[in-house]
């Protein structure tokens, strides 16, 4: 998106043909409705009444209708200065409550740019200007104040605006950032909010109902699911989470410090579900069919609600895939399904790299893959020494889950100081992740496989490990030229 001059945009709107105006806006990558252009004209005319000389630089350097990638957060007007940021929202009409909520949310997103934020909303019907101050209080102010701030702002050089915003900054994990989650220091995307509102509304009908939230790694599925539970808890609606895996530290903090009702799936037999209005089954793709049906039957008797949260790709044992719980939910039961499709947590380049790593036939958009690091070692002794050295630099190594039935080859590169494995990190996320790929991985018919049979599928464990990444992924490849060659071909194409 290019910076635009507001007077130029207004002049073009009032003098050019519709077709040429659309062409002109496309040059700036601006998507704006006709009514919004009319409102912009009113704001500019009001500002011009203070700017007698009509200095063109006063109206220059604006980003119109910028949207943060993947998040979907839109700003009407943004101007990035050396010391501060000016955000102006333009509305035909709006209540003070709605103005406050929007400016608060905008300020939250802009605060990650580490500059002072000036937040305003201009109401065109009344020609009123509102400001959100440093103490997060909303006040009506004179337009002359905005004029003064714009006049004195020194515009900063900004390359690609997208490079200033990292979508993964705006999500907190209920497990890795539990305190921030409980305090509500996050926002859902527009799509997540819509799902949440509809699901809460439908579940309030006090009739037996089934809902599902499905989404691949990085789409914000876990955050949305647990945010909905937090709403039910706040409203004192008895809610139970059944987690189909090992409870992590975040689960225990929610249970012990915040009194959430959470059990592991292994506790399902003989558990009394009758006192709960809502049951949430998290990582539902990993549940046994008989466990699933026992919960459904129990909740049906009480006219309760079940919310299934799952990602069919995230399985660790082959029988979890064979059971095909997702098919049961989507085809055999009457379940209203909400699907999250936009990846938020994961960098696009990392998501693209992971797809290509597991399937050689996958094509990807041209990327620089600057957040993917490839390291090759001949033996485990050197690779383990390297991984241990990286732990001190803020990297997270995740072990493959050991088998209780045999000692498997991947245990040779286990990091003894790292307690987490592919099972304990389910649903969690980390900024910088290290994944080890040993000599037993290979490609057949373009798909990635592991040569040694195992109770837990090593390919799926690797998938679990790499999809925990938020920002940077480091591969440590041990004695496997085939994998190295393909990884290099991905990052070089």
Give residue-wise pLDDT tens across range 424-483: 998 888 989 999 999 999 999 999 999 998 888 999 999 999 999 988 999 999 999 999
Q: What is the CATH number of domain 348-492?
A: 3.40.50
Distance, in Å, from the CA atom of 483 to the CA atom of 374, rounded to the nearest integer, reads 11
Q: Which of 401, 213, 180 is nearest to 306 (CA)?
A: 213
CA angle, 28 as apex, 23 and 29 as ends, to 5°? 85
Do domains 178-340 and 348-492 share one topology? The answer is yes
Parse the chain into domains and list their residue ranges.
4-165, 178-340, 348-492
What local confidence, expressed as pLDDT, does residue 345 receive? Answer: 58
Q: Which of 465, 426, 455, 226 is nearest to 320 (CA)?
A: 455
Phi, psi angles (nearest 5°) of residue 432? -125, 115
Distance, in Å, from the CA atom of 53 to the CA atom of 178, rounded to the nearest integer, reads 54
Give residue-wise pLDDT tens across range 210-228: 999 999 887 889 999 999 9
| Per-residue pLDDT at 141 exceeds 70 | yes
Provide the pLDDT confidence category of residue 400 given band limits of 50, 70 and 90.
very high
Give residue-wise pLDDT tens across range 302-330: 899 999 999 988 877 777 778 788 888 88
**H/E element, 435:** strand 430-437
Distance, in Å, from the CA atom of 400 to the CA atom of 477, rounded to the nearest integer, reads 14
Distance, in Å, from the CA atom of 386 to the CA atom of 375, rounded to the nearest integer, reads 9
CATH T-level topology, domain 178-340: Rossmann fold (3.40.50)
Lowest mean pLDDT among 81-90, 347-356, 482-491: 347-356
Q: Which two tokens stand for residue 243?
A: 């987690």
Distance, in Å, from the CA atom of 317 to the CA atom of 328, rounded to the nearest integer, reads 18
Distance, in Å, from the CA atom of 61 to the CA atom of 20, rounded to the nearest integer, reads 22
Q: Which two tokens stand for residue 253?
A: 């903090």
Provide the pLDDT confidence category of residue 169 given band limits of 50, 70 and 90.
confident
Distance, in Å, from the CA atom of 86 to the CA atom of 76, rounded to the nearest integer, reads 11
User: In terms of C-beta distances under 8 Å and separation of at least 24 residues, what long-range contacts does 361-367 make, across chains too?
Assistant: 361/446, 364/490, 364/493, 366/493
Kindly give the pairing relationship between strand 128-132 and strand 116-123. antiparallel
Q: Buried b vs exposed e over 442-474: b needs ≥16 C-beta within 10 Å?
A: eeeeeebebeeebebbbebbbbbbbbbbbbbbb
- A 10 A CB-CB count for 117 gives 18
């Amino acid at each position: 998106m290019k910076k635009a001059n507001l007077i130029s945009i207004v002049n073009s709107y009032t003098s050019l043909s519709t077709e040429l105006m659309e062409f002109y806006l496309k040059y700036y990558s601006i998507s704006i409705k006709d009514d919004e252009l009319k409102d912009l004209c009113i704001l500019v005319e009001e500002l011009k009444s203070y700017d007698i000389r009509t200095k063109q630089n006063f109206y220059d350097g604006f980003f119109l209708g910028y949207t943060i990638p993947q998040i979907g957060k839109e700003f009407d007007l943004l101007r990035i200065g050396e010391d501060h940021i000016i955000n102006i929202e333009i509305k035909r009409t709006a209540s003070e409550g709605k103005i406050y909520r929007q400016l608060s949310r905008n300020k939250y997103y802009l605060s990650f740019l580490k500059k002072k934020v000036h937040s305003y909303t201009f109401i065109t019907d009344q020609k009123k200007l509102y400001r959100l101050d440093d103490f997060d209080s909303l006040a009506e102010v004179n337009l002359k104040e905005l004029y003064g701030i714009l006049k004195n702002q020194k515009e900063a050089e900004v390359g690609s605006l997208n490079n200033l915003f990292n979508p993964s900054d705006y999500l907190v994990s209920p497990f890795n950032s539990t305190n921030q989650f409980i305090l509500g220091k996050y926002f859902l995307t527009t799509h997540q909010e819509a799902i949440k509102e509809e699901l809460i509304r439908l579940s309030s009908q006090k009739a037996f109902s089934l809902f599902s939230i499905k989404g691949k790694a990085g789409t914000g599925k876990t955050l949305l699911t647990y945010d909905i539970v937090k709403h039910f808890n706040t409203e004192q609606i008895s809610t139970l989470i059944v987690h189909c895996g090992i409870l992590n530290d975040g689960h225990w903090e929610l249970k012990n410090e915040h009194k959430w009702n959470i059990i592991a799936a292994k506790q399902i037999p003989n558990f009394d579900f009758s006192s709960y209005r809502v049951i949430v089954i998290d990582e539902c793709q990993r549940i046994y069919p008989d466990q699933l049906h026992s919960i459904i039957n129990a909740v049906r008797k009480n006219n309760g609600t079940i919310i299934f949260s799952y990602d069919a790709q995230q399985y660790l044992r082959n029988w979890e895939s064979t059971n095909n719980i997702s098919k049961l939910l989507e085809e055999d039961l009457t379940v209203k399904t909400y699907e999250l499709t936009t990846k938020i947590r994961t960098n696009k380049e990392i998501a693209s790299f992971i797809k290509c790593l597991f399937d050689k036939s996958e094509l990807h958009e041209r990327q620089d893959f600057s957040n993917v690091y490839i390291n090759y070692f001949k033996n485990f002794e050197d690779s383990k020494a390297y991984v241990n050295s990286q732990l001190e630099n803020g990297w997270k190594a995740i072990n493959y889950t050991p088998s209780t039935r045999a000692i498997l080859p991947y245990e040779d590169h286990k990091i003894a100081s790292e307690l987490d494995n592919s099972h304990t990190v389910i649903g969690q996320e980390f900024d910088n992740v290290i994944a080890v790929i040993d000599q037993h991985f290979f490609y057949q018919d373009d798909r990635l496989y592991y040569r040694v049979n195992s109770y837990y599928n090593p390919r799926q464990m690797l998938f679990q490990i790499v999809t925990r990444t938020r920002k940077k992924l480091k591969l440590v490849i041990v004695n496997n030229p085939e994998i190295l060659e393909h990884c290099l071909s991905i990052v070089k194409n």
